[in-house]
Structure formats: C-alpha cells, structure tokens
Structure 1
C-alpha cells in the first residue's frame, strides 16, 4: 500500500527511516555516553527540505518512516515503550508543523522565490514548532519536577530549534538544484574552503586554554561570499557538529567556565551556534537576493534583444565555412568597417585572449545546435577594441541546400562591461572589508558593568577592551544610546532573550547594529548577568536601499521605470475614486525614434531620450507621476484635473511644449511627439485606463503623428458623446 502511495517506490521510506533513526541514535548515544543533555537534535529538520516540496497528504508515508526510525533508535537504547511512542510522535509532529507553515506561504519554491521571506517564515515556524515539541516532551518525561527545570527546558528547546534550522536549511539546499548547481561546478575550490574552515574549527575547539572560537567567522564569511547558500549551510553545519561534539565531550573553550553543568555547556554551545547563524544568514540572504535580481535583469535584457525589430545591432548570416552571406549596414556605425570589408571571415579582429573561447563556442553551436550567447572583444577599424555581446542561433540555410547557417546578432556593450568590471572591483573591496565583519561579544553583570569584551570592539568604536571592562554601560555608551539600550537590558535581566537593532555613530560614521541579549544563568537558573552579541549590519542596510533604488528608477533618464509605475497606479486610482476625482493618463511617444537611431546612432538616441525625460520631469507638478515605460515611450499620470476641458488643455499644452530641438554634440535633432491621453472617472482598473490612453495614442499615430488624441471615460452624457449609451461613455477629442 505504501509503495502505491509513493510514485518513486520504497527507497524514500528506507532513506527516511535510516536518516531519522541514524541521527537520533547518534545524538542520544553521544549525550548518554557523556552524561550530558542532547546539544543538537538534527533528526526532525533533516526531512524538511524533502517534504516541503510536496503536500503533506501525500508525504505521510515518509513521516511514518521517520517516526519508525526515531522510535527504533530510542527503543534500541532501552527507553520505555510508551515513552518511545510518545516522543517519536512529538518529533514527527514538529517536522510536520514546519513543513505545513512553509508550504502555506510558499507552495512552490522557484528561482524567483525571495529567500529573505522564505528564511523568515522557516525560522518562525521552527521557533514555534520547537517550543511546542519541547513543552510536550517535558510533560511526557515529567521534567517539570526537577529543580533545574528552566535550564532543562532551555537546553531542550535550543537543541531542537538550532538543529531544525541547521538540518532543515541543509536539506532544503540539497534538494533545490538551482541553489547548489553553480557552486558545485567549482568543487575543488569549495572543498578547499570547507577544509580550511574545518581545520580552523577543529583547532579552536581543541584549544583548552584560550577562547578562540570567534576565529571561525572569517573563513565562514569567506564561504558565504564565494559559494552563497551552499557555503553557508555546509560551513555552519561543520561548525555546529564541531561545537556539539566539544560541548558534549566537555573539551575545548566551552569547558573554561569552572563549575558549570554539562547542561550549561550545551547551552553555551547552542548560543554560539545560533550566533554563527545570525552572522552568516543575513549576508547569504542579501547576496542571494542580489543575484536573483541581477539574473532577472539579465533575462529581461535578453528577451528584449530577441524581440527588438530593426535595431541598429550588427546582424550577420554566416555559412559553415565562415563566409558571411549577409552583413547589416550597422557594421559601419559599430566597428567602422564597410560591408564589403566585413564579408570575408576576420578572426584576426577578435582579441587574442578571446579567440580560442569564441572558436570553441562556434564549434559547440555547430555540433549541438540551438543558441549561444558570448561576450568578447572585437577590434574597431581605428584599432581600439569594443566589447560585443553576441547572440547566435543555428538555423537551416535559406538557400535550400540543406546546410545550416548561423544567424548572428551583436551589440556594443563596452560601457556595460566597464560598469560590471567596476562593480566586480567594488564587490572585491567589499569582500575584503566584510571578511572582518565585527561580532562584538561582551558580558555585563547585574550592576551593568562590563566583565568581558572581545577585541572586535576596536574595529567598531576604536575602544580598547581593557578600557571598557569594569565600566558601566552608561559610562561607555553615553546618555543617548544608554536610554535606548536600557529597556532591552531590563528584559534580559528579567530572564528573556532579546534581539533588536539600533543605529548610532562611531567616529563620525553612522552605523547599524543587530544586538542579541542572552541571560547568563547560574546552575540554579538564576540570572547573574547578560551576554551581549552585536553584529554590524550597516552594509546590508545600504545594499537593501540601493537595490530598492535600482529596482524603481530608469538608469538612462532618471525617471521612474515601468515597475515603479505599475506598483503606484492601483493606489493612485483607488485614492482618486475615494475622493471622487478624475484621473488623467497620457502616453507620450517620440515620433520616428528608430530613424534617429539609424541616422545618428544609439548614443544620440540616448541623449534624445534623456532630454525628453528631463523636459517631462520639469512639466509635472507635485503629486503627479512621470515614468519611462518602454524604449521611447513615456507616461504621465495626474489626478488634479477637474473637468474635460481642463484635461484637454493640459494635454495640448504638454504636446506643444514637448516640441524641441536637441543639441546632441553630433547634430541638432528636432523632436516631435505623439500623445494619447485618457481622462477617467471611477475607474479602478489600471489596465483599462492604459487601454484607453493606448487607443488614443494609436489614433494619434494613425493621423500621421506629431499630434495628440484625447479620450474621456466615465463622465456620462455630460462629456458630449451622443453616439454612445449606457454608463460608460467615451468621446474622442480630435486636434484639427
């Protein structure tokens, strides 16, 4: 019956049984052999990545196999039968809760999924499920009768929560191919970096005299920058396994605190593992989000290139022997060569460093067909090199001889490559800086005095730890910052774990921090101080703001882009309906813009677009929206037009003032516009308003361009259209 429920056979059930049982047996046997609590419970999260990709109603056989594995492990260790059944059920329920919450929010995890949101939902789900599971286990085992119940609950909860986060994220990465495919292409580099992290982790954990565990952060962050999620997940897993072994066996720096119980050592290890996740996860999420946005931008550019008609790009049809049967005239503007000079094969024009790579791409295309895209350097007739982005497709020859020709399209991307190189250089500098991301670790006693501060504080504030120890938080941080920190300190002294963010200025530089206050408890569970773990996240905040700006602004004109316009229009229309006012939308299209590009080149065309954008920006008023939504198409949206007559006057004024002669430095270009406008009342559909304006623009172009057309919608009989009836009446205002 189970085999019929699982389309892949019985192997997933055996795998779930072995995985859950093996991890459970490892954790329980290690803890009992050393008479310490379980430091890291990985069994529950190991199936999250597997099960979150399928509905739970179809995954119950795997959950049942996992339950049997945990039950068998505990039974093997001679636990009571009823206890084995109940605890196994609790663990399976914890896994099911996390999977269900993630599935409700993210039914399908795709390359377009925002991993920041996925991580937030996963962590919150793990937090809630671990808490419920821990409480249930305490009831089953009667642990509430023990004197150190809070320590036991704390250790049990942390073991499940940290283990769920680590094993759940690891399994999700393993079963999501697009998260690990690219890093595994560099398996040697990944193995080297992981080996370095493992060696450093082993070194700092076997050193029994000096607490050097913070030294694992630089190689971990290096893994995150080089290998993204794969580096973070495997790196944190290595550190977590090492820390859990060290705390369980009672060796290494976590054994430096004299007189603590094995349970308290497990808590210290769990806190360190949690801090490690907090250091690496925000960086990995920000970099992955940046990669996702960059990939979307590249895919959008490629689709636009393929759909562009009659562009000024270099277009060629190339035979198998290399002869160019067709070369577009744009080769003159692009590379300075005449068409007949470019007809024969010219591999000598390819930069020597790129020739072998491009030759291999051509051979691959000839052998396997399909398409290929390559960026390489091509020599201009003047002698300098241009970066060319080429798109090639293998197609049957139109000559009908059965041969296969290559259709080649190339465009100058020199400026873009320079920007990308500058960006790569900037990112390299950023990596150098963030290799030493500050993680300030301090301990504050019950009198609010620092008893320990690590040396990373020198990189943040310039203060020396010896000058801080013995002073109060108020004395070190000053009045303003202390007033913000005091409420969180009071909550930590009351026994609560507190996480918060704050912004302050050090040495004249504003900085943003994420702080984690953890109560320091003695063997009886009484709070005797606070551990403060502070990470600088200034660069992450700056990156988020920059990405938001790039996503909503057109880089050429400085105007809003189509995405920003599409996001604002629904709220704009809703506000207009609430206040019972009209909305005017005008589409502005540059007449014969392709002719300008073909005649003067794309650089002149870019100057024209920028000038038109600046002119439109000057014409609009506060509260109105102007955006570039296409190659040479702009849109103006306003809601302060009171009537049709005023709207028509505004459109006519807009059209008249957009007539201009632009000095491009190459030639004086006279520009005219076609404008299509629509004024609407009580219209909530952005698509409908755009359709009305687009119809008006079509009429303007149909009338010979250099004119405008105007539509009114939703004004009833008052708009003067006798030829329509009903509630939706439209009138065309024609310019004579």
Structure 2
C-alpha cells in the first residue's frame, strides 16, 4: 500500500505521537535512573513547530497525538493512569498556550519576520505557560504551600522553560525552513556537516571529568551561528542541551567536580550552562540577522539604483584641461533635455548663478592638486528649471598618451535627495522651534554629566541662556545643593532605568518645585550614551494640592480641624499611647441650648457663637493637643500629654470654666454655656470605644442640668470604669 494515499496531517500526527512518546520516555527514564530531577523537558516545545502552522480549530488532532504519546510513555513506565492523564493535559495546555500566542501575533512566519520580535513573544508566552504548567504538575504531587512544593515547582518550571525555548525554537526552524534548496536530495547537508564539530567537541568536553573544558563548546557553536544564523543557533543549542542533560543526569562531565553537589544542584548547574550558552549565541545571531537584513536592504537599494541608472543614465563626460569635451554620454538628453552636440562645448552659463563661483574654485583646485572631488550644484534643464546634480570628478592621465590630463566627470540627478535633505533640515528647525516653546525644560546629558542640548524654555525658568549651559556639567549649572538631589537619579538613569522624581530649587529669589523625568539614551547597539531630561515646574500644582489638603482637613466656619482630620489623628494618638503606656484624655464639648440660640437669634448669631467657641478652643489648646469641630455645635479636644488623674481633672475644669463667654447680639449680650463629657483612659482602646465613653459622660453632664462637666476615669488596666468626677455650677474646685 502506498504511503501517499494518506493525507499529510495523518503522518504529522503519527510522527508527533512517536516524537512526544520517545522524548517522554527519554526524559523520565533518565531522571528515574539517575534519581535526579528532570533537567530539560523537551516534549512540549517539540510540538510547537507543527502547532503554529495550523489554526486552533485544526490543531486538535496534533494535540491529541501528542497527548496520547505522553500518556502511552507513562503507561509503558507503569505509572497510574489518572495522574498520567492529568499531566498529559497540563503538557498539552502549555504547548497550546505558547503556539496560540505566537500564531495570534504571527499568523505566518516568513523570512521577513523580525526574529527579535518573535523571540520576545515566544519568551513571554513560554515563561507564563511554563509557570502555569509547573504549578499544575506540582499540585499533583505536593500540597501547597509546603517547602517541598516550592522546591519541586522551581525544578519543574526551570526544566519546562528552558526545554520550551530550546525545543520550541528547534521545531520552528525545522518545520518552517525550506530545506529543499540547500543541497541535492533536499537535505541540509551543509548544516549537518557544520553540526558534526559541535557534536564531537561537546561530547569530548563532557567526557573529561578532571578538567572544566566546557568553554571549548563555544567556538563551534559561534561558527555554526555565523554560517547558518538562527537555524544554526537553535539546532546547535538543542544538541548542546541534549548532551548536557544526558551527561549531567548520568553523572558524567565536569559538573560533579564541585564537592558535595546533589543531583538537583547539578541539574540546576546544567540549566544555567544551557541558559548561558543561549545568552552567548543569541546576541551574535541577532546582530548577524540585523546585518543580513541591512545588507539585503543595501543590495535592494543598490539594485534599484542600478536599475534607475541604467534606465535614466548618469551624465558621463571626458573634459580636456581647456574645458573642451572629449565625450558626452547620450544620457544628457534624458537628464537635462540637451542634445549631445549642445553639450560638447563648455556651458558654464547652465550652472546656477549662486553656484558658479564655488564650482569654478572646485575645478581649479582639482586641476592644481589632482585627485578626486565631489560637488553638488544646480544645472539648468533645457526647459528652464534647475536640477541638483551630484558630480564626481577625477583628474587622470589622458588615454591619448599625449602627456596631458583629463577630468572624468560623472553626474547624477540628486534633486529628490536634496529636497528630502532640505525638508529634513526644515523639519529639524520646526522641531527645534516646538521644543523651544514647550512649557518644560528639555535637555540631554552625556555620560560625563555634561549638557549637550537644552531648549530655550530654560531662560523663562532660570534666566540662563542655553548657549552658556552647553558643555558644562550638571553640578556646575545647577549648583552643589540641587546636584545632591539629582545625583542619585542621574546614577539610576545612567544605569539604564527611567527615573521620575520631584525636588525644590530657588531661581530669581523664588522657591520653585519641579518634576523631572530622566530617560536613558541608547545607541543602536543598546549601549548607554546619555540621558534625556524633561523638567516641568509644578509649583502651582503643589500649591493647589496643599490648599485642597487644607480644605479637606479644616472646618471652614471655625478654622478648627474637621471630623476627617480628627479621625485620622485619633487612631495615631491611640497607637502611640498604647505603645508608650501613656493615658489619653478625650473631651466632648457641646453648646447648651444651641438650637434655641439659632431659633431666637437666627443662624447668623449661631455661626458667630460657633466661631467664638472655635477661637476660644484654639487659644486654650497646647502643643500636641487636637481640637476639632466634629459636627453642628459639638467640639472635641484630644490630649495625650495628661500624665495623671489629677491633671486630667484640672484640665477639664479649666476648659469648662474658660469656655463661659458672652457674645454681643444686637443691642444685648448672649450668655453661652457649655456641657463637657470627658474620659481619661490608659492602655489599649479603640477610637470607637473612646468616643462612646466620652459621649456617655456628655449625656451624664446634660442629665445633671447642663452647664457642667462629667469626667469618667477608665481603669488603667483597661478593664471596667472605676470612677467619675462631676461638677455642678456653683461648686468650688473638684
């Protein structure tokens, strides 16, 4: 029966079944035989090449084939069926997540696909998928969050992540690369030939246990990368990974030279070596890929230019020292509209008047000094308009062997290029105009901390000219005090990290506040070459913030703190008092018959009374005490500096006594009286309980007929109430 009778997807499923089953048997058997963790799990990555070529709806047969291959391998090894099914589902989910992420970003991988972008997508998706898969696999064997769980998770994650990178990249290269044109028979013979030194040297390096010769692997690996680019790297890394894991798990090679190493530690060392080998080869292959892409662009550009030159034609002339033309190419007709005969005599009149003197000087210098020159100037077309011509001229011996010299002239139309350059110059001028008028200081600082660019807006901030600042260091321009604030952020930016921070500086006698954003400036190779700085004055913003904060915490009528500020402070005071075992006094002050004042004299008089009480309380409180209006006619005083019960009684009595006041109302006076409920507590207590006790004391004072106070003293051990102090009008002392 001919194999061609079956469609390709059937053979792909059979091949994937065999591949996943074989790799599973290899990895699991090797780990169990050596009693060490699996150092490299290649199964999931091996499926990636086929999965990314098919939409999700068509990929399920491949996933099923891979799943069955893994489960079959587990059954051959005698593992239980149910855990094997669960682990197989985890592995297929990992491969599916990575392939879906790559296919969503790159529906088709072509030679024009940017390898760096593809690598970013692959690395990120592999990291996430490996983490999820490792979590699920570890959950089968260990309870979370035991230490053994984390150890096993770490080992599984590293094996899956490194294996996905190695095997996934290899499978992508093998499946997507067209090998048919590489050699007769459709096999990559050159790649196989160049792989042999890597295989031999890697095997030789790991066969020596007495000497660490692993560095010998890098020359053939880099040679493979140089010859075959990305395909050479991923296949070479796959070979290194297989040899490294096999040797490590069989306890062969230099990793067991370190005394006291465990199998898990040797596995980690192998994974680090594989990862480091990737880091060695990856920058080279990316640089070579960029070089190939640039060379391809250059070749394409040269091809286009040649096609343009062959069809439009450069102007070529042989000119005698007298100016007589020995030869003029026919392209002059297409280039300038003139016939060849019209150009056989010198035509300086066709040169633009603004360029004639300069070109005459160039020609004179060429005849006097020899060599070659290049000049760009304008020539007049027969239609009357001017073209920009780039001319290359060289003084050579005359081919007539008469001892004279000639100028070989080649001119081409570069009008379009000059117009682009002029547009670029204009664009730069426009950009400079925009930058100079942006309401922020834009600057560039090189690696020696010297300014190389500053926009004109700096004059409005500091009064200094940008020209005077260019070339000076940050410390010289900003001063030592401000530089100390900037230095740490500059160091961070020079290390390659962005930095956003705020600081203060004085300019023109005003203290200003600024926000600065440092952005690293890298060259095309990623090397640091300076820092861009964007500085904005935010003084007005900070002033608004402070005003908003004040309004948020201050009562507008009395000028005292409001309930929000009091709630914030009372929790802090109670924590500090509990920490230092100090008593806290809370007094609630209530204006007696305030509703009657409003009803009888109007709300204006009521507001006046509240303002007078607020001012009186502000005069009475001492440093460290909090006084606030918490609503209506109710005020609160919080003290944390009352040392004992006697002081507390004296403070409350003084507060009640001094709050008696007379407020002028119209033609008469209004006597204002207060009721005060206070509590003295020591030990741990919540703000709600403290307020409740003070509220109870206030109600007691009101029940006693108002115009009095009641002081409750809570147990110093934080138990029940142990006593209270009351005062009636007319009493003397306490």
Shorter-chain TM-score range: 0.3 to 0.5
Larger of the two Rg values belongs to structure: 2
TM, length-normalised to structure 2: 0.44
